[in-house]
Structure 1
Amino acid sequence: MHTPTYFHEHLLSLLFLITLSTVYAAQSPPSVVNSQLPSDAVALLSFKSKADLDNKLLYTLNERFDYCQWQGVKCVQGRVVRFFLQGFGLRGVLEANTLSRLDQLRVLSLRNNSLAGPIPDLSGLVNLRSLFLDYNSFSRSFPGSLLSLDCLRILDLSHNNLTGSIPAELTVLDRLNYLRLDSNQFNGTIPPLNQSTLEIFNVSGNNLTGPIPVTPTLSRFGSSSFAWNPKLCGEIINKVCRSTSPFFESNSSNVASPPKPLRQNAQSQLILSPPPPKKHNRIGVILAFVIGVLILIAAILSFFVLSKRRINERSSKSTMSSSEAVNTNGTETTIAPQAVKPELQVVEEKTHGAQFREKSGNLVFCLGEAQIYTLEQLMRASAELLGRGTIGTTYKAVMDNRLIVSVKRLDAGKTAITSREVFERHMEAVGGLRHPNLVPIRAYFQAKEERLIIYDYQPNGSLYNLIHGSRSTRAKPLHWTSCLKIAEDVAQGIAYIHQASMLVHGNLKSSNVLLGADFEACLIDYCLAILADTSSIDDPDSAGYKGPEIRKSRCRATPKSDVYAFGILLLELLTGKHPSQHPFLVPTDMPEWVRAMREEDDVGEENRLGMLVEVASICSLTSPEQRPAMWQVLKMIQAIKESVMIEDDAKNALVGYS
């Protein structure tokens, strides 16, 4: 009689459980629910669920192999071989057992995102050749799983928060030719790397200590590869390694004294093992202490009296005109009064040099940069003139500690008159910009009549020199692949400025694009145009890059005028012709002119070249409203790059089958 009721109760419970499991399945990611998906699709969706908390990646799977068309994904025969998500604004963590399942992956780039947490076990990526995880917020120690990747050739973990030591086992990666671990918090010593294949190496900006191993490989790299590690020493950076001083050893009664006391050390004249204490010795110590305190008090009082007297003397001389404080020749002062270059040694140490330091104050370091040198050291540096620009002169300064920086000295006659506070606020904003394609501003300085901006020194010259070569030879236009890479680097830097701040570059030209240590294109002199006095500047080298809307009216630069300058720079790249030599062309005639300037190019590359010319023509349209935004320009260039890579892979596959 009760059996039907019992059966119905169990049936309802079963239906309820089925409903709950269905709801849970609907809310779960496809990687968990659908076991029929390809393993690579599961890996990508699992990665997105943890690393893309802001849903930047629009991954939808309607067909079985849709994942091969997703952003940043490249497949060969249905397997993911390249995963490239540079600068996508990803936020989250790189979860374990996600991307590590892509066992055919050769290139992985997650650079310039906001991923945090530890780097997981990636030992499953047995075919990985290139790994870029730089400019994120990864923490913890060096991922030991990378040491098992025998195919790894490029490893970039720079600009993260990694700690601990750099493992000595890195020496077993015998195919490594690119290693960047700079701008982290690594400590300990540098392993004795000696791979003959290593061409790019940088461990600067860490907390490394001790002597640098003198191996044939490490000896090939300059001091910039080891900079910003104050406790490193050795022959490679010309810094003597000092042994631990015995003066810090304790001599208290409860600590065993050394077996051989340094009682007769002629150099130090220091007795580390004192005789047994006696009562009259204690009285002598107390008297000596009292006398020392009295001498110290007297010294402090004398110091205050002398300081007050010096202040009074300075105030009495304050009426002296500025013309009496500088060189009577009226010529430009140098950064370093003791510079070795004769053309830079214009002002004597006893006149302007001393006066300048007297008024100076301190260097202001940007974005929490460590103060590893002082204004005094900068003043003593030997200086070499690098060039004169729109608003100032740039020098290469080599300091006593072998550190090399670039210093831009703003020309008072070419800069607008701004208050000290306005200049400081502007430099704080500009100095906070950090991107792989911007030369970072490390510090700045201002006094009554002096303003300096300190950058990292870039050793490989400017893009202008690369394009145009020496004056005695006719430079050949760069290969279109080099044009594509440089264009992408420059577009990345400009797009970052526009998106990360309310600022604009304002002075984009080939001489303001420098080549970094890895020959990446890096922008300099960005966001300084606002300081220029437009009424006094007539720079013919910059005129060709200026958009029509600001060329005659002398209006301030805008994001769209940066886009115009980029279009002209791209044409300069493609043709090898300076903007002053560009004819006035309508967009339809531009491809033919570019082809004529590149007459020796392979005809088979015309299509690829044409795509770049189209980008240049769109950017350099007369009307600012018709030009795209810089982030759109960057997407165009990246789309060209992706299509080229797909074409090349298809050709290689055909060659392989034949």
Structure 2
Amino acid sequence: MALSSISGFFVLFLSLFLLGRQVYSEPTQDKQALLDFISRTPHANRLQWNSSASACSWVGVECDANQSHVVILRLPGVGLMGQISPNTLGRLSQLRVLSLRSNRLSGEIPADFSQLKLLRNLYLQHNLFSGEFPASLTQLTRLVRLDLSFNNFTGKIPFSVNNLTHLSGLFLENNGFAGSLPSINPSGLVDFNVSNNNLNGSIPETLAKFPASSFSGNLNLCGGPLNACNPFFVSPALSPTSNVPIVGKRSKKLSTAAIIAIAVGAGIILFLLLLILVLCLRKRQRRPNAAKPPKSAPRSVVTEVGTSSSKDDVAGGVAEAERNKLVFFDGGAYNFDLEDLLRASAEVLGKGSVGTSYKAVLEEGTTVVVKRLKDVAVQKKEFEMQMELLGKIKHENAVPLRAFYYSKDEKLLVYDYMPAGSLSALLHGSRGSGRTPLDWDNRMKIALSAGRGLAHLHVSGKIVHGNIKASNILLRSDLGACIADFGLNPVFGGSTPPNRVAGYRAPEVVETRKVTFKSDVYSFGVLLLELLTGKAPNQASFGEEGIDLPRWVQSVVREEWTAEVFDVELTRYQNIEEEMVQLLQIAMACVSTVPDQRPDIQVVVRMMEDINRTETDDGLRQSSDDPSKGSDGQTPPTESRTPPDVATP
């Protein structure tokens, strides 16, 4: 009896002992998976996991109550770089939350993420991931929140997203997704965003409940909360002989009464036309020798090109002819009129805060860019005066305004077409595998040439650009930069449109909406930071605070992590660290919050020209442009070539 009691007690003690071991066990397999992940992924020193300690005590790691499995892994903004190796994180079979946001992870999502069957929240935003929508993620049927925004994903958004029946939030904005939107309809979906992609077609009814901001930035997307979209260049409809295509179903057979009414109406119209023709002939016979009215004298700066005289007569005389005229500036080689432009095949290049730009290919093969302005706030006289001022700007680093058109309903600007595209597309487009990175020499070349163009505006033209940003820096085939869309603020009443990209705006412009030479310098400084970091200002929300790009750079420099500021694509180049730091100092001087502390743009250009010297046989290498000259080829006054005092990174 005593022996059986002892045996029972021993069994109970052994059970409790084993249970205790289970409660406080080490997640051995998950720990090894994490060690494999971190050993294969370059990262900053901020993440230091002690392999001799329990994985449950590591930074960013949380385990279940029994400490037998890792259930949460949060590693936001810890400097992770490169691709996620397969057979690492995919082995965390009990993972519920995974956050890798605000790092520099690239490549495709590993296929073995499909093994994370219990995953509920996945945050991968603000990285450099690429490839098509990860098929592995559509198998995670317990997902509630999925955030892939601010990456470089491409291809179509698959219909299989509907497999995620528990999804309440889907964030795909600021990628390169293309094609049409599938009918996504998880019953609990309350947050949805696909803005700033390349989507087209109509918005499915299942998604029409979301606001227009969820779809903005997709040029060819229409329906739902958006207006009906038209991918073609819309004619201002000034010529009465223009053909208007009618799209629709063939109507049913007309009744007899309708046919009679149409016939009578057509007869009346024909009679009126004949009567008008007779009256015109009689009027001409009365004045057979009358001289034609003289044309108005051409302006000193422009040459006016109108439509044909027969079109003018049909349209109603001089008033209609004046309304149908493009105004060309001297120095251009174009020879076409408005109707040639309206007959051109057109392709949308971009939709910005001031209007939509089209690539127009005329019948004879000439290619130009036509910008349709919206919300112009000045009358014709003020508009023409500003255009004449802009038409005088001639500089190799400024896109010339070739012609303009003004009517009550349409305001058009004609520019040269730049086939190499914009700095924004070159710097941020298709990051990831297979991309040819923008090297340091070309980044410096773009910074210098754009700075010279802006200096010419400020010094020679006395013009404030007002909208410096990467998409307004257009590139020649040799990667020389030309600034575009300058000097348009006065036609909008002198203030910046409220929907302009806030990432480039100086602090004082946010409050007053008035642009100045100093606010241009601030925007140019943000552009330099963009070249250095590879990050777009409107994508530079780091952490929960959502700070802008200049403040983020300052915070990193302040913590003495300067190397983490620079674009990871620049790390492959040797012996450029000093030049990058010097340009960073110049950029930080430009983005000073106090306008008077910012250097003038011509000073900024000369400091950048100093950086662009390198060693040659005679001891100096110089840029292709003589660095002893200012932006306009004039010898600048003697000034210090040392960057203004800023915090040394």
TM-score range for the pair, normalised by the shorter chain length: 0.3 to 0.5
- Higher RCO (Cα < 8 Å, 6 or more apart): 2
- TM-score w.r.t. the length of structure 1 is 0.42
